[in-house]
Structure 1
């Protein structure tokens, strides 16, 4: 081993002592979230792995969460066991909320054939479910693990929801690829968003970390594909519709219709001449 290699390995060894956190296992975090989903919604289980032992699975999930929290113990407000108990006390409420989300998708997507299909295969529902589970842990001041869970869902679905966002009841994400929902976003009830929507910040600065950087979306808003809504002072009033490809950095009143105006030109050749005929749409 060369001197430079030895020096580099010594540097890596020393560096480890300076890390603030010991991380839970990322594969274990993914297994926990998927097994929890299979407990809550058996339709997500495949035929080979299906289990009839609900109580046994429930106990195993408790143990899994404690193990995930143990590496973070020095940075937790309570013991891993106490946090786990409190999390599972909230599980019935999380489950009820997820049923509302699933019904919102099934009721509003013409392509859906029912709630079982939504729960089993829709990436939007999966991303919302993982967010709601992670958000509960974040409310208990658990560091890192909530973000690990939502980033796992991000990798599975292409939907990036920060666990710190506040999202109301009956949330509907259709298609979902490319959706980004920032940490300080506030979303009301019965909101629908489509693929490519960004709810982000107007600019990135570390000094803004403790401030509201992302928009507020009030109740009953629809945001169509590839719309971008930015800024902590930006509020979309209730019962508004934001059209596709809109770029919005200022608030709009309730019952607004916001759309991106553009012109598309279609050119056809005349059958009797080579001169093109122009239509403006």
Structure 2
């Protein structure tokens, strides 16, 4: 017969006279939290409580979408010409069903005026639009993959980049998040971006517009803001920031949302490690921005910018 285990009284303490006291004084703390939640610091919207999108579900959706885009690399290596389409279709079906649910939750949870009256049928339509863009997105991702191979002498093959480079993971996530952002599923898009941030250390706002052939080398610490516009064949390195220089406010001192406040980086630009580029300025086509540069003014095409100087490349017009 097993010995009887005494009840766990670790949450109780006794005073000198003997009676048990509640160690954590939960009654008082819970009551104070209720006052904060309901009265003094309330952030809850009026109306019925709504369930937020699930980050865990979105992580699973991202994994499935990536498997559908690259089935032999992220899905099942043994797939062949006879069964690969069935795998892709099955994987997409599950992922899109789950995504539709998260989009519906996100719209109801945020409750923006633009989404008032958002119905499940609307979520289905939005998810269908998202799905229709996946073939084109895969094509752009292949251009990113090729840019990484050409831009990194250490890269031996495409599979190494596709499954091993954090920059590639971040851009896969971003291109999916950007579609969702453009379709106004913005809470879900932001959560997808934050999943990528957690996984890679690369923080790209889903609103940022990024052209084809984009390569982030090493990647850790890269930050790209919401209204940044990046052209084709751009390469950036770790710890680069494309940020805002200042934050305009209205007459009452509130931040003005949505203004274009991040840089425009034109085609064929290289930005080296640690560069900080701030404000709605333009980095001209074909320019090179050196490491650790702090830049708040536009530069013309074919410029070379170092910490001390800005000049045109030799032979440029």
Q: What is the TM-score normalised by the length of structure 2?
A: 0.76
- Structure 2 match to 1:266: none
* 114 and 21 in structure 1: CA distance in 2 versus 1, 3 angstrom threshold: farther
Residue 18 in structure 1 maps to residue 45 in structure 2: yes
Residue 185 in structure 1 maps to residue 228 in structure 2: yes
- Choose from 76, 80, 104 the match for 1:70: 104
Matches within 5 A, 1:61-210: 61-74=95-108, 75=111, 76=115, 79-204=122-247, 207-210=255-258
- Structure 2 match to 1:268: none
Residue 40 in structure 1 maps to residue 69 in structure 2: yes
* 45 and 249 in structure 1: CA distance in 2 versus 1, 3 angstrom threshold: same
Show CA shifts across 1:29-50 (max 9, x none): 1111122112211344376998
Shifted more, 3-12 versus 22-31: the winner is 3-12
Residue 251 in structure 1 maps to residue 298 in structure 2: yes
Show CA shifts across 1:180-213 (max 9, x none): 0000101111100000100001124552422111
Gaps of 5+ in 1: 263-281
| Superposition deviation, residue 117 in structure 1 | 1.2
- Note if contact 2:67-2:91 (Cα within 8 Å) is conserved in structure 1: no
Q: For 1:130 and 1:46, how far apart are their aligned partners in 2?
A: 16
Gaps of 5+ in 2: 1-24, 249-253, 310-317
| Superposition deviation, residue 13 in structure 1 | 6.8
| Superposition deviation, residue 6 in structure 1 | 4.5
| Superposition deviation, residue 125 in structure 1 | 0.7
- Choose from 49, 57, 74 the match for 1:28: 57
Residue 221 in structure 1 maps to residue 269 in structure 2: yes
- Note if contact 2:61-2:98 (Cα within 8 Å) is conserved in structure 1: yes
Q: For 1:2 and 1:248, how far apart are their aligned partners in 2?
A: 53
Q: For 1:223 and 1:199, how far apart are their aligned partners in 2?
A: 10
Residue 239 in structure 1 maps to residue 286 in structure 2: yes
Q: Return the index of the structure with the highest Cα Rg.
A: 2
* RMSD over equivalenced CA pairs, Å: 2.5
